[in-house]
Amino acid sequence: MTQPSILWLRQDLRLHDQPALVAAAHEGPVVPVYVLDDDAPGEWRIGGAQRWWLHHSLSTLDAALRAKHSRLILRRGDAVSILTALMEETGASRIHAIRHYEPWWRDAEKKLGDRLELHDGNHLVRLEDLTTGSGTPFKMFSSFWKALQSQLPPADPFPVPHAIPAPAHWPMSDELAEWTLLPTRPDWSTGFDKDWTPGETEALAKAKDWSDDVAAYDRRRNLPSEEGTSRLSPHLHHGEISPRAIYHALGDTRDAGAFLRELAWRDFTSGVLLALPKYGEVNGRPKYDALPWRKDAEAKRDLQAWQQGRTGYPIVDAGMRQLWASGWMHNRVRMIAASFLVKHLLIDWRKGERWYWDCLVDADYGNNAVNWQWIAGTGVDANMFGRIMAPLSQSGKFDAADYIREWVPELRDLTDATIHDPDDSGVRPNDYPAKLIGHREARERALAAAATLR
Q: Does 370 lie in the same domain as 229?
A: no
CATH code of residue 74:
3.40.50.620
Q: Does 415 lie in the same domain as 321?
A: yes
Is residue 311 one of the residues assigned to a domain? yes
pLDDT at 263: 95
Q: Does 292 lie in the same domain as 242?
A: no
CATH code of residue 319:
1.10.579.10
Q: Does 264 lie in the same domain as 131?
A: yes
Is residue 238 one of the residues assigned to a domain? yes
Q: How many structural domains does the chain have?
A: 3
Active site residues: 262, 265, 293, 331, 349, 372
Is residue 172 one of the residues assigned to a domain? no
Q: Does 230 lie in the same domain as 117?
A: no
pLDDT at 252: 75
Q: ω before 153 within 30° of 0 (cis)?
A: yes
Q: Does 411 lie in the same domain as 373?
A: yes
Q: Edge-to-edge strand order for the sheet containing 30-36?
A: 73-76, 30-36, 5-9, 94-98, 116-119
Is residue 320 one of the residues assigned to a domain? yes
Task: State which residues of the chain have pLDDT below 70.
Answer: 1
Dist CA 398 CA 441 (whole Å): 24
Is residue 173 one of the residues assigned to a domain? no
Q: 344: buried, middle or exposed (CB in 10 Å: 19+, 13-18, 0-12)?
A: buried
Dist CA 193 CA 204 (whole Å): 18
Domain end (from 81, 104, 122): 122
Q: Does 416 lie in the same domain as 382?
A: yes
Q: 59: buried, middle or exposed (CB in 10 Å: 19+, 13-18, 0-12)?
A: middle
Q: Does 310 lie in the same domain as 248?
A: no
CATH code of residue 232:
1.25.40.80
Is residue 370 one of the residues assigned to a domain? yes
Cβ neighbours around 244 below 10 Å, total: 23
**Residues 29/117, Cβ–Cβ less than 8 Å:** no
Is residue 263 one of the residues assigned to a domain? yes
Q: Does 342 lie in the same domain as 430?
A: yes
pLDDT at 342: 98
- The residue segments making up the domain with residue 19 are 1-122
Q: Does 216 lie in the same domain as 329?
A: no
Is residue 169 one of the residues assigned to a domain? no
Q: Does 115 lie in the same domain as 92?
A: yes
Domain end (from 122, 138, 168): 122
pLDDT at 454: 76
pLDDT at 198: 98
Q: What is the CA radius of gyration of the chain?
A: 23
Kind of pairing between the strands at 30-36 and 73-76: parallel
Dist CA 28 CA 193 (whole Å): 38
Q: Does 427 lie in the same domain as 310?
A: yes
pTM score: 0.96
Residue type for position 122 = N
Domain end (from 275, 303, 329): 275
